[in-house]
């Protein structure tokens, strides 16, 4: 299962024809998308559109009914390349899983749509053990519990677990990775404080630091600004943008706020009823007609004169004139 080097223009994670079902009903249908290093991809859509389910499937927390996940190797010269190559031993590990083959009801062993690993395009995400997968993909979920009796540093060190091996092998890069994550997220001065003493914004930064200590090529975030005060929302999204701009990380994020998505993302993926209905640059995707069709309420779009970013406004029946058309 060879791993090939990839340029920053190549996808760090690619999903092909991913479908996910709950109780026999598809909630994600035939999704195809790519996450690229240096790029923030935002998944948006109404409640129940499948955006969080799709993100959880990319993180292998949700088992798909069909489809494939392909992970690229890091570029030549990346200091993660050696460890990733160690994971390329032939044969699936014991704790792998893969989608069911609709024809047989058993595991599917195809990669789908012509993406053959022998061509050096990457590694099948379903062939990796959970530990191997966690060296490549980190996920920040919403509503994580606050652990008691642990310091900030203790929590951030959790992110090094995939690198320590099944038998607790040494992790010489661990201390530096933890220190770097603490600094990047601005919580280094809180390292010895108990996490149960932190504000919601501080705690979310600590969990993000734990993800960064994982030192993965892909970072997934599920509505990371939920429950945060406005200041902490802005600071967290600024940090995510900075991480993507480093060029080392591909970011996929589910956002409920369309204005935040427009300001943060390089690409926006719109889901409706489990399907991707639009994908592209914010200016091409966030149009009044598409948003009005998907959300079922009139949504106007203009440009913020201060920031230059797109901004949206939902128009209720008390805020519009009947003779004003949707463009």
Instruction: Give residue 206's domain range.
Output: 144-215
- As given in the structure block, the two tokens for residue 100 are 């069911």
Contact 291, 312 (CB under 8 A): yes
Residue 145 — pLDDT band, cuts 50, 70, 90? confident
Please give the tally of structural domains in the chain: 2
Name the least confident of 112-121, 160-169, 211-220: 112-121
Closest CA to 177 of 143, 216, 207: 216
- Indicate which CATH number applies to the domain containing 8: 3.40.50.300
Same-domain check for residues 174 and 267? no
Largest interatomic CA distance in the chain? 70
d(CA 52, CA 222): 7
Same-domain check for residues 1 and 121? yes
236 in any annotated domain: no
What tens digit of pLDDT does each residue of 11-49 get?
999 999 999 999 999 999 999 999 999 999 999 999 999
Same-domain check for residues 188 and 128? no
Residue at a domain's end among 194, 215, 236: 215
Task: Inform me whether the pLDDT recorded for 326 exceeds 70.
Answer: no
What tens digit of pLDDT does each residue of 181-191 get?
999 999 999 99
Same-domain check for residues 29 and 94? yes
Same-domain check for residues 64 and 105? yes
Same-domain check for residues 20 and 103? yes
Same-domain check for residues 1 and 126? yes
117 in any annotated domain: yes
165 in any annotated domain: yes
d(CA 226, CA 302): 25
Same-domain check for residues 121 and 167? no
Same-domain check for residues 21 and 101? yes
Same-domain check for residues 24 and 106? yes
Which residues, listed in sequence order, are joined to residue 272 by a DSSP beta bridge? Answer: 275
102 in any annotated domain: yes
Residue matched to tokens 């601005």: 186
Query: Model-level pTM?
Result: 0.83
């Amino acid at each position: 299962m060879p791993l090939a080097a990839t340029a920053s223009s190549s996808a760090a994670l690619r999903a092909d024809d991913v479908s996910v079902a709950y109780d026999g009903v598809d909630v994600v249908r035939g999704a195809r998308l790519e996450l690229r290093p240096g790029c923030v991809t935002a998944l948006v859509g109404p409640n129940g559109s499948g955006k969080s389910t799709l993100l959880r499937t990319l993180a292998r927390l949700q088992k798909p009914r069909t489809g494939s996940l392909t992970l690229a190797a890091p570029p030549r010269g990346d200091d993660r390349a050696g460890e990733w190559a160690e994971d390329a031993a032939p044969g699936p590990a014991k704790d792998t899983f893969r989608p069911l083959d609709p024809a047989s009801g058993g595991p599917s062993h195809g990669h789908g749509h012509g993406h053959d690993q022998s061509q050096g395009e990457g590694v099948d995400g379903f062939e990796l053990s959970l530990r191997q997968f966690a060296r490549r993909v980190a996920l920040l979920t919403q509503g994580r519990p606050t652990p008691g009796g642990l310091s900030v540093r203790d929590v951030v060190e959790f992110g090094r677990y995939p690198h320590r091996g099944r038998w607790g092998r040494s992790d010489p890069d661990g201390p530096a990775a933890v220190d770097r994550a603490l600094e990047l997220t601005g919580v280094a001065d809180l390292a010895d404080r108990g996490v149960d003493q932190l504000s919601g914004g501080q705690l979310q930064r600590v969990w993000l630091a734990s993800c960064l200590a994982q030192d993965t090529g892909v970072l997934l975030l599920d509505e990371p600004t939920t429950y945060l005060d406005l200041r902490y929302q802005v600071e967290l999204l600024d940090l995510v943008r900075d991480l993507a701009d480093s060029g080392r990380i591909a970011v996929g994020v589910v956002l409920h706020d369309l204005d935040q998505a427009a300001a943060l993302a390089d690409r926006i993926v719109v889901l409706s009823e489990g399907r991707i209905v639009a994908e592209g640059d914010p200016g091409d995707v966030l149009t009044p007609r598409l948003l009005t069709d998907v959300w079922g309420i009139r949504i106007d779009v203009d440009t913020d004169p201060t920031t230059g970013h797109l901004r949206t406004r939902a128009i209720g029946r008390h805020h519009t004139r009947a003779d004003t058309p949707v463009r």
